[in-house]
Amino acid sequence: MSNVIYPLLLGKQTFSKGQFTYFMNYDHKIWAPIVAWYIRTADKEILVDTGISGQDLKRYLFGNLYEEYQSIEEALVKRGSDPGRIEIIIQTHLHYDHCGNNKLFPRAKVIVQAEELAFARNPHPVFRGSYNPSFFESSDFEVIEGEKEIVPGVSVVPVPGHSPGSQAVLVDLGGKKAALTGFCCILENFQPPEKIRKYWPVIPIGVSVNSLEAYDSMLKLKSMADLIIPMHSMEYAEKEFIA
């Protein structure tokens, strides 16, 4: 059995597009998904991030619109699973919309980069609002440093910049390698319009603790994967599965 990625689309929120595209499109509103990614391997059920519930997200909307589709429990049931069966959560980073449902998975080992956890527990004031310790401090963390194979065909690689310890998830889909980016971006970041491609092969992400690192991480990831899956891409979040 080949690995399969199932997007668990929990809802969608409006954002300024400039939050994803560096110094561009701040006056353009777009819908972006709140999504977790369920990976089924031959013998493991893995979540990449857990998203956040609509109830918890309300405190972070700041006037943006939100449409809730389903809870993460409902999304897993549709895939023939449930929170009690998830043994591994790969935490790409610890921003509130990526770990808000961690408390629903008491059996899961949560794999996080050491640098991300340290920063999340003591964030710089500029990024303090991005982290909510009540969402992640009950997690059973497995703290790692650097690249690591999680199970055969699923591995992580550091992609710092968006946050200090962001990590991408590489998934072998039987002949091609897919990458869940681990940092917040949309499809256009990796498929710039022609007028941008003359200068940048990728559009740097709009929110980062280090823009230079973020840009280099994007190029690194692009060189490693056959298929790039942006964390906030409606195009991929709405797919039935990715295989």
Q: How far apart are CA 34 and CA 172, in angstroms?
A: 24
For range 176-198, the mean pLDDT: 96
Q: Starting at the edge strand that comes first in sequence, how are the strands of the sheet with 227-229 ordered?
A: 148-151, 154-158, 167-172, 177-180, 227-229
Pairing of strands 66-68, 45-48: unpaired
pLDDT for residue 1 = 61
Domains of the chain: 4-237 (3.60.15.10)
Tell me the residue length of the chain. 243
Instruction: Inform me whether the pLDDT recorded for 85 exceeds 70.
Output: yes
48-71 residue pLDDT tens = 999 999 999 999 999 999 999 999
What residue type is 34 in one-letter code? I
Query: To the nearest 10°, the Cα dihedral for 180, 165, 186, 205?
Result: -150
For range 117-144, the mean pLDDT: 98
For range 206-219, the mean pLDDT: 98
Query: 220: exposed, middle or buried (C-beta count within 10 Å: 0-12, 13-18, 19+)?
Result: middle
pTM (global) more than 0.85: yes
Percent of all residues in the chain with a pLDDT value above 70, rounded to a whole number:
100
* Matching residue, tokens 């560096």: 22
